[in-house]
Amino acid sequence: MIRFEHVTKRYDDGTTAVDDLSFEVAEGELVTLVGPSGCGKTTTMMMVNRLVEPTSGRVLVDGRDISGVDPVALRRKIGYVIQQVGLFPHRTVLDNTATVPALLGWKKAAARARAAELLDLVGLDPAVYGSRYPAQLSGGQRQRVGVARALAADPPVLLMDEPFGAVDPVVRERLQNEFLALQATVRKTVLLVTHDIEEAVRMGDRMAVYGQGRIEQFDTPATVLGSPATPYVADFVGSDRGLKRLAVTPVTEADLDPAPRPAGDQGDAHVPLGTSLKDALAVLLQHDTGRLTVTGDDGRPLGVLTPAGVHRALRRASAPADPSSR
Ligand SMILES: Nc1ncnc2c1ncn2[C@@H]1O[C@H](COP(=O)(O)OP(=O)(O)O)[C@@H](O)[C@H]1O
Ligand SMILES: [Mg+2]
């Protein structure tokens, strides 16, 4: 859906912000771009909606080289969420959200109905918040309006530049989870820029770890954490990467031992298949038995997870290029 082919960006003052970048984002995929400040993340993102033009190389969206696409037409298909949100201060929340449909020439009533629907989707009751002005919202609420506005014209692609950076950690985590739930229903193709490794791991189907102007590794969070491609990546993801990996590795049937017979399941702690190792381990630690019953879709026990199983699961997840670790 988004494809970079040997893209380099050199600004007029000689700064090489991005150097020979190639990667691809599949339709419906959420890819995080993560790295320290100044490594070229925002420049990369802005080349997707032509706010910045590459010095060399090509960017394709939906199979088309965008250098030949009218920027205004291009941006209609690309929602854009930035940290500063950029809401119009003298317009109501409803009118802010309806901005793009209005620009596209929708009838006023239709644009407002769509805006109300989107506010509802991001958890803001339009009857309560629609008539407010941006200054009358909390930072987290403003950020939600930013997301609603970006989605209003139903663009297939969403660019998000440090979208949750301006709010405190508790609100940030809530917004992240809300966005993931939303993404599970709207399935946009998303590029999300962050300098926060935890956010990149939590949000990304895949993540691009940037060094200076280059991608050092592009893979699933489980693989990046389990098998960092370079010493730089290992350093960037942190020495606690093993712990971080627990959160992005689900329990699978291969990790289970047979349930002992007779299984006294009723009182046993249990979690469903697909639970993250982190959550499974937390439950395991709360119980004395040293094992955890894992259940299938029908609620029947499939086997038990033991500390040895957790270890096996981590080894499996760090095997390079394992598509099942997505
Ligand atoms: N308009 C510009 N003119 C010159 N240099 C720029 C411009 N925008 C960004 N840069 C430089 O390009 C590099 C990458 O910047 P940026 O893409 O904003 O990084 P990030 O988003 O990862 O913090 C930095 O060295 C930055 O100073
Ligand atoms: Mg930036």
pLDDT band at 323 (very low <50, low <70, confident <90, very high): very low
Contact 148, 122 (CB under 8 A): yes
What SS3 state is found at 188? Answer: coil
Fold of 253-317: CBS-domain (3.10.580)
Query: What stretch(es) of the chain map to CATH 3.40.50.300?
Result: 2-245
Give the number of residues written for the chain: 326
Which ligand has the minimum distance to the alpha carbon of residue 165?
Answer: 2
Task: Give the ligand 1 atom nearest the CA of 39.
Answer: 22
pLDDT band at 326 (very low <50, low <70, confident <90, very high): very low
Q: How would you classify the pairing of strands 30-34 and 56-61?
A: unpaired
Q: How far apart are CA 63 and CA 197, in angstroms?
A: 30
Contact 118, 79 (CB under 8 A): no
Q: Which long-range contacts (CB under 8 A, 24 or more apart) does 230-238 make?
A: 233/209, 236/35, 236/36, 236/197, 236/209, 237/197, 237/209, 238/197
pLDDT surpassing 70 at residue 262? no
Contact 221, 312 (CB under 8 A): no
Q: What is the pLDDT of residues 105-153, one digit of tens each?
A: 889 999 999 999 999 988 899 999 999 999 999 888 998 899 899 888 8
pLDDT band at 324 (very low <50, low <70, confident <90, very high): very low
Contacts of 109 (CB under 8 A, 6+ apart): none
The finding on whether 325 has its CB within 6 A of some atom of ligand 1 is no
Task: Give the ligand 1 atom nearest the CA of 45.
Answer: 17
pLDDT surpassing 50 at residue 241? yes
Query: What stretch(es) of the chain map to CATH 3.10.580.10?
Result: 253-317
* pLDDT reported for residue 173: 87
Q: What is the pLDDT of residues 263-282, one digit of tens each?
A: 555 567 889 999 999 899 98
pLDDT band at 231 (very low <50, low <70, confident <90, very high): very high
Which CATH code for domain 2-245?
A: 3.40.50.300
Question: Nearest CA to 137 among 119, 114, 160?
Answer: 119
The finding on whether 40 has its CB within 6 A of some atom of ligand 1 is yes
Contact 212, 188 (CB under 8 A): no
Residue nearest to atom 26 of ligand 1 (CA): 38
Q: How far is the CA of 19 from the centre of ligand 1 (A)?
A: 12
The finding on whether 318 has its CB within 6 A of some atom of ligand 1 is no
The finding on whether 88 has its CB within 6 A of some atom of ligand 1 is no
Question: Nearest CA to 225 among 211, 209, 242, 212?
Answer: 242
For residues 61 and 181, which has the higher predicted lDDT (pLDDT)?
A: 61
The number of beta carbons lying within 10 Å of the beta carbon of residue 41 is: 25
* pLDDT reported for residue 93: 95
Task: Give the ligand 1 atom nearest the CA of 42.
Answer: 21
Pocket of ligand 1, candidates 11, 82, 83, 216: which has the most ligand atoms within 8 Å of its Cβ, to mutate?
11
The finding on whether 194 has its CB within 6 A of some atom of ligand 1 is no
Contact 270, 215 (CB under 8 A): no
Q: What is the pLDDT of residues 71-93, one digit of tens each?
A: 999 998 999 988 766 789 999 99
Q: How far apart are CA 303 and CA 260, in angstroms?
A: 8
Answer left, alpha or beta for residue 14, where phi above 0 means left and psi between -120 and 50 means alpha: left
Residue nearest to atom 13 of ligand 1 (CA): 17
